[in-house]
Every structure is written in C-alpha cells, then in structure tokens.
Chains A and B, each alone.
Chain A
Amino acid sequence: GESVGLHLPTLSVQEGDNSIINCAYSNSASDYFIWYKQESGKGPQFIIDIRSNMDKRQGQRVTVLLNKTVKHLSLQIAATQPGDSAVYFCAENIGGAQKLVFGQGTRLTINP
C-alpha cells in the first residue's frame, strides 16, 4: 500500500552541526506534510508543516523542503543542540480523508 518512508533510520551528528532528515512519500494525493519530534516516552511534538503548493518553509532553526517531482521531503535542523536528540517522523495528510500517515522515523543523536 501507499506509505511514507525514510531513507535513514538513524543519524548521528556533532553538536553545532546541521542535520538533514529525509523522507519519501508515495501518495500523490497528499496535500499537506508535517514533521514531528518524539522524545522517549512522550507523544509527538509538532515542529513544522508545509502545504503541497510550497517547496520550502522556514521556522526557528528548522527548514522543511518539499520536492513533489520526486515525492521527497526533508527536515533541516541548524546548529543542532543536545535537546534535538529524538526520533523524527514525517507525516502526510491524505487529502480528502484528513488522516495522517506516519513515516518510519529517524533517530537523531547529537554527539558532544
């Protein structure tokens, strides 16, 4: 079936470096995408979202890029901090259904 997936299950970066987390999606009807951060034992926390009519959106230290041609989504985190260590999920909103389909998740580890 259609799904949202991630290229890398784990990512380890040095504190202060930039991180890029990738996500592939396959549902061409998806019109809205969201990145969530999940810390151990907690629920997902909203980070940033982007509509399908956009290709880039920036927040505080985070940028989301959307490439609809290749159905690819990425999350860039600038100047990573220890508090950025978590599992990051991309999620796509299936247009008419208004449901979210989550990707597999990437564990981001920040090395001191």
Chain B
Amino acid sequence: GAVVSQHPSWVICKSGTSVKIECRSLDFQATTMFWYRQFPKQSLMLMATSNEGSKATYEQGVEKDKFLINHASLTLSTLTVTSAHPEDSSFYICSAREVSRTGPFQPQHFGDGTRLSIL
C-alpha cells in the first residue's frame, strides 16, 4: 500500500519551455502533498506544500510564479516549471501523506522522482 506515482520520470526540453509533473497517490487519499528538489549528491529540499482545494505554501526562496502547483483532487497534485532554464535542471520528487490516518505521526510516501534536464 501507500504507493505514490510520478510522471514523467525523465524530461529533456529546451530553455523557455514549461514542464508539468504529475504526482498521484494510487491507493490512498492525500489532502497534503509535498514537492522537493534534489541536486546531485545532495539532500532533499522542500519546495512547497500542496494542499487539496487551496493554495500551495511555498518555502522561503522558492518562486511561486516559477513553480506552479495545483492540487485539484485527493489523489493528484501537479508541479509546473514555467519558462524553465538550465539552472532549473534537477531531480524533482513528490510525497504524500495518507488522509485516513489520524494524528501527525504519519510518514510521507515518496514518488520515484522526475529528472528534469533543460538544454
């Protein structure tokens, strides 16, 4: 159980292109999903918290107009990297926490990430 699927797993595109990444919870509902970015040999850095039916909460230093997040249902959140440039190249990973469990002590379950390469 608790499977999170990300799509696509790998994207190569030209500078200036906008790229959409999907994050789905396959066998559970998630009111909250999280988007992370990971550079090579580094740890995961939280970019934003995606809340179903409301605006996302962005971490300090993350441009909300650059990284558009939509969480339209309890099983889907999307991250759109707008007008991507080479410095946006990274490994983007989403996670979700089950809504069926009560209390704050619930692990986040992660997707397998999307490797974004901007030429």
Contact = CB atoms under 8 A, between A and B. Distances in A.
| Real binding pair | yes
Contacts of B44: 44, 89, 102
Q: Is the interface of B mostly helix, strand, loop or mixed?
A: strand
Contacts of A51: 105
Interface residues of A, number: 23
A104 interface: yes
Interface stretch (A59-67, A76-84, A92-100): A92-100
Interface residues of B, number: 22
Contacts of B4: 43
B109 interface: yes
Interface of A: 31-32, 34, 36, 41-46, 49, 51, 89, 93, 95, 98-105
- 10 smallest beta-carbon distances between A and B, as pairs: A43-B110, A102-B43, A43-B112, A102-B44, A44-B110, A46-B107, A43-B113, A32-B105, A43-B93, A42-B112
B8 to A, nearest CB: 13
B93 A49 contact: no
